[in-house]
């Protein structure tokens, strides 16, 4: 496994060097955290007096976008990231993330590059069928037989019909996530990379909203072997809209009694300065290694996992 990891890291660096994408490093420790409702930041306090609150990053995204706004050009990073309350077969509180950004690209162009890289990392140990692309709306039509994914009551009924128990206090977004992960993804071709794109507008996170009817997020996810490998966006560049989204997240966190992290004002200032049009994606490398090695847990790819390996 150590050898496979080393070869994969070398292949990634060669892939981006050939394409003239610059490798960068950014801090893992920040005075601001993510407000994303789907993530919980990991907190750290100053070791001397214990009064200064800091966060271990869940992703290098904010810092990398500050570099983009400063004129870095196309960049990528391989780093360890940290997410609280994540432990399971395909989740670890600490794992390796590959993240990169392409100036002037949209999400369709980025999907092509993600496909190329994943084929390169998986081809020696796994035979892959041709990749597929399907919209979020269409995948709900095909596998849940509902044409209205925004009607969560209809989706709830379809999920229940599929034999999935829904928690009593699950949110609307939680219902959609459960439908995707527990009903739809297991039915995708396990031997092909499948891209699901045009997510609901309320799941945009840091993605640009596309002017369609109804509006959708310029976002995609890539799946293979029954697991999510990548999450990508055509990036939101509007500072005012981004601040509004962050503040809405904080309001919802306050309502639910969850931690309210400090906003990253440096990141918002970089957006105000001017983030060039770009697309970015994050890939969980440990999941890719698991597929390449044929193991059935994230922990089995790690020398020092926090949870049990297979």
Taking only the tens place, the pLDDT of each residue in 129-144 is 889 999 999 999 899 8
Cβ-based neighbour number of residue 217 at 10 Å? 24
Average pLDDT for 150-173 = 81
Residue 177 inside a domain? The answer is no
| Residue 150's pLDDT band (cuts 50, 70, 90) | low
Contact criterion met (CB below 8 Å) for 217 and 204: yes
Judge whether residue 49 has pLDDT over 70: no
Judge whether residue 172 has pLDDT over 90: no
Residue 151 or residue 81, greater confidence: 81
Question: For residue 5, what pLDDT is reported?
Answer: 97
| Residue 310's pLDDT band (cuts 50, 70, 90) | low
Structural domain total, the chain: 1
- Cβ neighbours of residue 119 under 8 Å, at least 6 residues apart? 128, 193
pLDDT tens string 257-272: 999 999 999 999 999 9
Residue 199 inside a domain? The answer is no
**Per-residue DSSP letter, 21:** -
By DSSP bridging, strand 192-200 and strand 129-135 are parallel
Q: Burial, 295: exposed, middle or buried (Cβ in 10 Å; 0-12, 13-18, 19+)?
A: middle
Residue 163 or residue 114, greater confidence: 114
| Longest alpha-carbon distance in the chain | 57
Judge whether residue 126 has pLDDT over 90: no
Question: For residue 85, what pLDDT is reported?
Answer: 82
pLDDT tens string 65-95: 999 999 999 999 999 999 998 888 999 999 9
Residue 293 inside a domain? The answer is yes
Q: For residue 16, what is the domain's CATH number? A: 3.30.930.10
pTM, rounded to two decimals: 0.94
- Cβ neighbours of residue 83 under 8 Å, at least 6 residues apart? 39, 40, 41, 42, 58, 91, 93
In percent, the amount of the chain with pLDDT more than 90 equals 74
Question: For residue 194, what pLDDT is reported?
Answer: 97
Q: What does the mean pLDDT of the chain come to? A: 92
- Residue of 99, 113, 109, 105 lying closest to 22 (CA atoms): 99
Residue 91 domain boundaries: 2-128+239-301
Residue 193 inside a domain? The answer is no
Contact criterion met (CB below 8 Å) for 306 and 93: yes
pLDDT tens string 206-261: 999 998 888 999 999 999 999 999 999 999 999 999 999 999 999 999 999 999 99
Backbone angles phi, psi at 101, to 5 degrees: -135, 140
- Residue of 198, 258, 197 lying closest to 36 (CA atoms): 258
Cβ-based neighbour number of residue 53 at 10 Å? 14
**Residue 126 and residue 133: Cα distance in Å, rounded?**
20
Contact criterion met (CB below 8 Å) for 103 and 68: yes
Question: For residue 148, what pLDDT is reported?
Answer: 66
- Cβ neighbours of residue 124 under 8 Å, at least 6 residues apart? 292
Q: Burial, 138: exposed, middle or buried (Cβ in 10 Å; 0-12, 13-18, 19+)?
A: middle
**Residue 108 and residue 182: Cα distance in Å, rounded?**
26
For the CA atoms of the chain, what is the radius of gyration? 19
DSSP of 41-57, one letter per residue? PEEEE-TTTS--EEEE-
Average pLDDT for 136-162 = 83
Residue with tokens 């077969």: 89
**Residue 309 and residue 302: Cα distance in Å, rounded?**
9
Residue 269 inside a domain? The answer is yes
| Residue 52's pLDDT band (cuts 50, 70, 90) | confident
Determine what percent of the chain falls in helix, strand and coil, rounding each to the nearest 5.
40, 25, 35
Residue 253 inside a domain? The answer is yes
Average pLDDT for 16-37 = 96
Residue 167 inside a domain? The answer is no
Question: For residue 279, what pLDDT is reported?
Answer: 98
**Per-residue DSSP letter, 297:** S
Question: For residue 50, what pLDDT is reported?
Answer: 63
Judge whether residue 109 has pLDDT over 70: yes
- Residue of 138, 122, 119 lying closest to 130 (CA atoms): 119
Backbone angles phi, psi at 42, to 5 degrees: -95, 125
Residue 138 inside a domain? The answer is no
């Amino acid at each position: 496994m150590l050898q496979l990891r080393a070869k994969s890291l070398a292949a990634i660096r060669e892939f981006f060097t050939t394409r003239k994408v610059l490798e960068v490093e950014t801090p893992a420790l920040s005075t601001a955290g993510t407000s994303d409702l789907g993530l919980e930041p990991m907190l750290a306090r100053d070791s001397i007096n214990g009064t200064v609150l800091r966060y271990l990053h869940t992703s290098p995204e904010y810092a990398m976008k500050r570099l983009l706004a400063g004129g870095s050009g196309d960049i990528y990073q391989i780093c360890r990231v940290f997410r609280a309350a994540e432990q399971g077969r395909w989740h670890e509180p600490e794992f390796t993330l590959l993240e990169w950004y392409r100036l002037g690209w949209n999400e369709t162009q980025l999907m092509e590059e993600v496909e190329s890289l994943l084929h390169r990392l998986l081809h020696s140990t796994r035979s892959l069928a041709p990749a597929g692309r399907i919209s979020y709306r269409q995948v709900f039509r095909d596998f849940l037989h509902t044409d209205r994914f925004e009607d969560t009551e209809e989706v709830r009924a379809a999920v229940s019909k599929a034999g999935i128990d829904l928690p009593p206090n699950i949110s609307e977004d939680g219902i959609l996530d459960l439908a995707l992960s527990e009903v739809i993804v297991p039915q995708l071709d396990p031997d092909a990379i499948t891209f699901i794109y045009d997510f609901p507008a309320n799941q945009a996170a840091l993605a640009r909203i596309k002017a369609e009817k109804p509006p959708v997020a310029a976002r995609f996810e890539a799946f293979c072997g029954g697991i999510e490998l990548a999450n990508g966006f055509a990036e939101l560049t509007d500072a005012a809209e981004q601040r509004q989204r962050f503040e809405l997240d904080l309001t919802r966190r306050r309502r639910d009694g969850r931690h309210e992290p400090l906003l990253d004002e440096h990141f918002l200032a970089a957006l105000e300065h001017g983030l060039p049009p770009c697309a970015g994606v994050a890939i969980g490398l440990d999941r890719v290694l698991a597929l390449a090695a044929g193991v059935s847990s994230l922990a089995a790819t790690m020398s020092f996992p926090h949870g049990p390996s297979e």
